[in-house]
Structure 1
Amino acid sequence: MRSLGAAIVFLVRLAVRTDRRRFVIGVGLLFIGYLSTPFVGLLLRDFTNSALAGAAGTATLFAAGVALLLVFELMMGHFAHLYYFELGEQCGAKLEDELLQIANGTPGLAHLDDPEFADTLALTRQDVGQTRPALEGVLHLTGLLLRAGVTTVILAFVNPWLVLLPLAAVPPVLIAKRAQGLANRAREANAERTRLTGHLLELAADADAVKEIRLFGADRHLMARQAETWSEATAAIWRAYRRAAALRASGQLLFALAYGTSILLVIDQAVAGTANVGDVILVVTLAVQISVQVASALGLLAILQAAGRTVERLAMLRERATPAPPGRKQAPRRLRKGIRLEHVTFGYGDETVLDEVSLRIPAGSIVAVVGENGAGKSTLVKLLCGFYEPTGGRITVDGTDLRSFAADAWHGGIAMLFQDFAKLELRLRDNVGVGDLPRIGDDAALTDALVRARATETRDRVPGGLDGALGRAYADGAELSGGQWQSLGLARALMRPTPLLLALDEPAAALDAAAEHALFERFATTARAARRESGAVTLFVSHRFSTVRLADLIVVLADGRVTEQGTHDQLMARNGLYAELFTLQARVYR
């Protein structure tokens, strides 16, 4: 019951924080309605006795009282619903905002690489949609408990043994808890399959992916795999649900036996003359109410137990994705010495990607990182961006540990174009302007970035210019080629006027050598200006050595280690791995 209690406390606190006034009014109206129901049985008893005694006027008054109480209960429930329904929606929206903060509010990326975190996040996102029903469940369950208390007192006046009837609801509740546990474990065990089916459905609806899927005739294969995976997941979940349903039915059968026994007990009293017909009607009415209440409570408990598991998952997500603490050092405005990596080690799980990497990158220098696939080049770039923290060693900026800087401040000094650059299907202004949000409304700054990225032709073909829509996902916007999207990505990176680190992480892997060289030249112009303004370091990862040879320093990675570093001429004279790779590539181009 610990998770159930945690869910109730969590939901009540969330509701009070969201809108205390709405919560108090909704609870008050709901409880008044709930407490009216047991008194219907009392009035029915008195109505029956009055009718049998021939007191028509009195019986009529009691009948009118019953009708008024039933109408009053419905009215209170309706008005309460107007309050707590909207409150539940607000609470759900608040939790969705928190999930967005958990997923994106942490400066690092390590939590997003964790499959357990991804599964937990996916399950929590599904369950957050049940926040409103869960809050309603808390209120209705509390109302049912209050009603059960009043009912128990009334039954005790008829026969003390009848006090046990509400207690007969305890076994069904405990059995229902176990049943819900079976269902929850089945969902968790199949979370990975559920995520896979969602990914396959996304592929089927993604315009870029569909082209390749249909060209290779893989659509039927992927659809069959989605159906197979979904079938496996649902079969396992439904097996658990069937077992849970059987357990719940056994609990309700136990209560039905107690219900029948209570009716027989009062009928026996009536036959013996110690109770009247009105008492029988009272007990039957209250017993029916308790039966309905037990059935309702079992459904509410299932919802709340699931909510309890959601609360546990949310706590785990909060723990795994804690934002950087406030009050950390601000990044320098200008690099004086440069960036150093001192015995940096990093890995994903048990796999070591970078091992004892030591490297000095002087301020104002242009550095190229080369190496075969899997050597750790992209991981090195992400470490320099502060997306990951080294598991060993440290990275310093002008002698200060990178981890001591405020993440937002350091990120604000980076101009970056990744290989898998973002395609923001929004306005052209938004696509470029997010590179420097304070200037998203500055048309001159946006135009300057587009000019330096040689993306003005892309701007000119977008209907509406800067305020025109891109893509067809959310609006009837302009369709762009991969190269045009890339030019906008470069313009976005060039929005920052005085970066400390400019980086290209193989964004031109799909381009030919001439196109990549032109892209580098565009970036290098900004790099030279940034070097004068802020002592910026320029770092680029490339697999083409015709571009690499222009760097001040070339770093060669192999198996997560720095095997060579120097200028192009120095590395060629050393006749090591760099010279071997350069010669092979030059031979291919010749």
Structure 2
Amino acid sequence: MTVTKKTSMAENLNTLIRIIPLLWRTSPGRLTLSCTCYAILAFIPLAQIWIVKETVNTITKVIEGHNELQMALLLLLLQFLLMIGSDAIQSINEYLVVHLKQRAAFYIDEQIAIKASHLPLVFFDKPEYYDQLQRVSQGMAFRGLTVISTLMQLLQQALTLIWFIIYLARIDVWFAIVMILLFVPSLIVNLKIGQRRYAQMMNQTVAERKSNYVMGLMTGRSAAKEMKLFRLTPFLLQKWKHLYWKNANEKAALTKQSETSRFLAQLIIILSNMVGVAYIVWMCSNGDLSLGDYVALSQAFITTQAVIQSATYNLSLMYEESLFLKELFLFLDFPEEHPHQEQSLAPFKLNHQIEVRDLCFSYPSSEVQRLRNISFKIQAGQTIAIVGENGAGKSTLAKCLVGLYQPCSGSVLIDGIPIANIDNVSMKANISAIFQDFVQYQFSIRENIGLSHYEQMDSDHLIYSAAHKADIEQIASSFKHGLDTELDPIFEGGQELSYGQWQKIALARAFFKDAPIMLLDEPTAAVDPISEAYFYERFAELAKGKTTLMISHRLASCKIADHILVLKNGELIEQGNHDALIALNGEYANMFDLQAQWYVNEQGEEESVCSNA
């Protein structure tokens, strides 16, 4: 994707205006004190030049025989004290800036994490939105720190330039005019460079993400077995090299272009300074300036040149970082899943039924409807199975039912109240789930199970009870550190689990919450048959009184369901209990017969092999 949209200066200014209150909130006292330090440091270079001028003039008089030795020593002492004071203020300011950076970095990362938790789930399913999330979550705090440092430095440099321009104007107004004019080309060049660097970063986001992913495969633990078995390193290394050098060469080309432009702009400043210093020499030769004036003005020219170079670079850096920070504020301004509403929302209560009316759903920027005109009712306390082929819309429907997806049209009602009018926190507190792509947290067993209701994570009794329900209690008890065993061998004393054991951990996490509604998305996909049979036997007992939404490809598990929803191509084509759907002899019966036939054929082949042996 190529970035073509340009950002106006007004937008960048607005971004910078928004970052200043952010800095103020982190630590107003330290920020005020730091700004004061920068203001003092900005005046010191001019004071040093004035002292140098007076010192040179005084020493010249001493050499000529005038009685000015005491004044010369006093000026040298003053210069020495100014150097000590400057170093002391810089040390104090560095301490203040470090604290400001730490607080700002924490605040920015905290805001990103909080915002991500409030975004709708579909945000993570859309590539361009996810790319934006990646951009703001990787290094945005560092960019915020860069803005802090650059703002402070610009304050100091701006004040220094003002002092020097006033000083030069008192000697000759043309000195000040030339210095102001020299500021323009360097600023334009650096702003253009910042804009190009931002555009390049935007264009390289996807390639950078792919490059990091491929490198993670080659160096990480998750893919290590297949890397060795399939000898994937040569193939992936070549893929990574292509992505890496494509981006690297583009960056090198831009750097070459940028530094050439900077050199030409700096050359103009250097040549102008040479002319200015020559003019000062001419003024000295005419007796208009003293030797001290020459030293001071020459130093002023050199210092002003350095400040202009540094200030224009910092302005361009500020401009560039404002482009990046614009991404942060766009992210923070993204519509949330449940924005604050003035009207009070109803607490979650399921006493009677869940009703779905003409529900339709499609992903953002997609014209394809994943669910179309679905309507049904679920009675409280029932176990509902949602079945269908891959891509039929089973998981999508389940996510709509528990409020993770918002339907495009139609509605989901809990005891007659639309989900949109129910308090989101209250609703989520009453739902537990295990998804097919459950998370394997690199935490302890206790944390892995207790995360679903972390307020009660310290209760060994509740943790072991959930582990018992998921048939994982013996594994937890067998480890040396028990529930506090880390579940990753990369940590000291950590243990490695099989995928099936990890799934049982996820089941225990779902049971630990003990919510009245439970969503099970392929709960036994990686569990052995004996454990599967035990699980459904236990589940039928434990699910009494709970409303359960169960997604499964193994239709034998549907026998425990009170009601079955059969989806095909996003439409609800059949519903009823197991016996009724078998009698209907439709899609469900056909799928059930195919699976049963597969098991019968497999058993027949095993018996044939045994008899031949």
TM-score band by shorter chain is: over 0.9
The residue number in structure 2 matching 1:549 is 559
The residue number in structure 2 matching 1:143 is 156
Contact between 1:43 and 1:62, CA under 8 Å: does it hold in 2?
yes
Contact between 1:462 and 1:468, CA under 8 Å: does it hold in 2?
yes
Q: Distance in 2 between matches of 1:225 and 1:203?
A: 12
The residue number in structure 1 matching 2:606 is none
Give yes or no for the alignment of 1:481 onto 2:473.
no
Q: Distance in 1 between matches of 2:444 and 2:529?
A: 31
Contact between 2:26 and 2:103, CA under 8 Å: does it hold in 1?
yes
Give yes or no for the alignment of 1:117 onto 2:129.
yes
Among 447, 469, 473, the alignment partner of 1:452 is: 469
Give yes or no for the alignment of 1:418 onto 2:432.
no
Q: Distance in 2 between matches of 1:105 and 1:539?
A: 24
Q: Distance in 2 between matches of 1:405 and 1:475?
A: 45
Give yes or no for the alignment of 1:51 onto 2:54.
no
Contact between 1:440 and 1:446, CA under 8 Å: does it hold in 2?
yes
Contact between 1:419 and 1:508, CA under 8 Å: does it hold in 2?
no
Q: Distance in 2 between matches of 1:461 and 1:512?
A: 20
The residue number in structure 1 matching 2:336 is 322
The residue number in structure 1 matching 2:609 is none
Q: Distance in 1 between matches of 2:591 and 2:12?
A: 62
Q: Distance in 1 between matches of 2:496 and 2:465?
A: 23
Among 546, 566, 569, the alignment partner of 1:559 is: 569
Equivalent positions of 1:504-515 (< 5 A) are: 504-515=520-531
Among 176, 183, 203, the alignment partner of 1:169 is: 183
Contact between 1:10 and 1:311, CA under 8 Å: does it hold in 2?
no
Contact between 2:433 and 2:520, CA under 8 Å: does it hold in 1?
yes
Amino acid at match of 2:358: E
Q: Distance in 2 between matches of 1:489 and 1:60?
A: 79
Q: Distance in 2 between matches of 1:394 and 1:240?
A: 52
The residue number in structure 2 matching 1:467 is 484
Equivalent positions of 1:85-100 (< 5 A) are: 85-100=98-113
Give yes or no for the alignment of 1:18 onto 2:30.
no
Residue 475 of structure 1 and its aligned partner are, at CA, apart by 4.0
Give yes or no for the alignment of 1:526 onto 2:542.
yes
SS of residue matched to 2:362: strand
TM-score between the two structures when normalised by the length of structure 1: 0.94
Q: Distance in 2 between matches of 1:4 and 1:155?
A: 33
Q: Distance in 1 between matches of 2:599 and 2:423?
A: 45
Deviation string 1:211-247 (CA, Å, 9 cap, x unpaired) is 1222122122122212211111222222223222222
SS of residue matched to 2:505: helix
Contact between 2:520 and 2:549, CA under 8 Å: does it hold in 1?
yes
Residue 58 of structure 1 and its aligned partner are, at CA, apart by 3.0
Residue 52 of structure 1 and its aligned partner are, at CA, apart by 2.4
Amino acid at match of 2:250: A
Residue 154 of structure 1 and its aligned partner are, at CA, apart by 0.9
Deviation string 1:55-75 (CA, Å, 9 cap, x unpaired) is 444333333333332332222
Residue 83 of structure 1 and its aligned partner are, at CA, apart by 0.7
Give yes or no for the alignment of 1:257 onto 2:271.
yes
Q: Distance in 2 between matches of 1:245 and 1:517?
A: 69
Q: Distance in 2 between matches of 1:169 and 1:315?
A: 30
Contact between 1:187 and 1:237, CA under 8 Å: does it hold in 2?
no
Q: Distance in 2 between matches of 1:309 and 1:517?
A: 57
Deviation string 1:266-312 (CA, Å, 9 cap, x unpaired) is 22222233222222212111111111112222332243223202321
The residue number in structure 2 matching 1:245 is 259
Deviation string 1:337-390 (CA, Å, 9 cap, x unpaired) is 233243333335313211222222222221111111111111111112211101
Amino acid at match of 2:122: A
Residue 21 of structure 1 and its aligned partner are, at CA, apart by 1.2
Residue 589 of structure 1 and its aligned partner are, at CA, apart by 0.8
Unaligned stretches of 5+ in structure 2?
A: 1-8, 63-67, 601-613
Among 363, 379, 388, the alignment partner of 2:405 is: 388
The residue number in structure 1 matching 2:585 is 575
Deviation string 1:1-42 (CA, Å, 9 cap, x unpaired) is 445534543443222211111111122122212211112112
Residue 508 of structure 1 and its aligned partner are, at CA, apart by 2.0
TM-score between the two structures when normalised by the length of structure 2: 0.90
Residue 458 of structure 1 and its aligned partner are, at CA, apart by 1.5
Q: Distance in 1 between matches of 2:271 and 2:15?
A: 31
Among 7, 17, 33, the alignment partner of 1:9 is: 17
Give yes or no for the alignment of 1:77 onto 2:93.
no
- Change in 2 beyond 3 A, CA 1:90/1:485: same
Contact between 1:127 and 1:307, CA under 8 Å: does it hold in 2?
no
Contact between 1:513 and 1:544, CA under 8 Å: does it hold in 2?
no
Give yes or no for the alignment of 1:101 onto 2:114.
yes
In angstroms, what is the RMSD of aligned CA positions? 2.0
SS of residue matched to 2:391: coil
Q: Distance in 1 between matches of 2:292 and 2:35?
A: 33
The residue number in structure 2 matching 1:494 is 511
Residue 513 of structure 1 and its aligned partner are, at CA, apart by 4.6
Which deviates further from its counterpart, 373-382 or 47-56? 47-56
The residue number in structure 1 matching 2:3 is none
Amino acid at match of 2:92: F
Q: Distance in 1 between matches of 2:131 and 2:254?
A: 19
Give yes or no for the alignment of 1:212 onto 2:229.
no
Contact between 2:435 and 2:520, CA under 8 Å: does it hold in 1?
yes
The residue number in structure 2 matching 1:367 is 384
Give yes or no for the alignment of 1:586 onto 2:596.
yes
Contact between 1:46 and 1:278, CA under 8 Å: does it hold in 2?
yes
Contact between 2:354 and 2:412, CA under 8 Å: does it hold in 1?
no
The residue number in structure 1 matching 2:45 is 37
Contact between 2:432 and 2:518, CA under 8 Å: does it hold in 1?
yes
The residue number in structure 1 matching 2:369 is 352
Q: Distance in 1 between matches of 2:352 and 2:359?
A: 22
SS of residue matched to 2:513: coil
Equivalent residue pairs, number: 582
SS of residue matched to 1:426: coil
Q: Distance in 1 between matches of 2:330 and 2:12?
A: 17
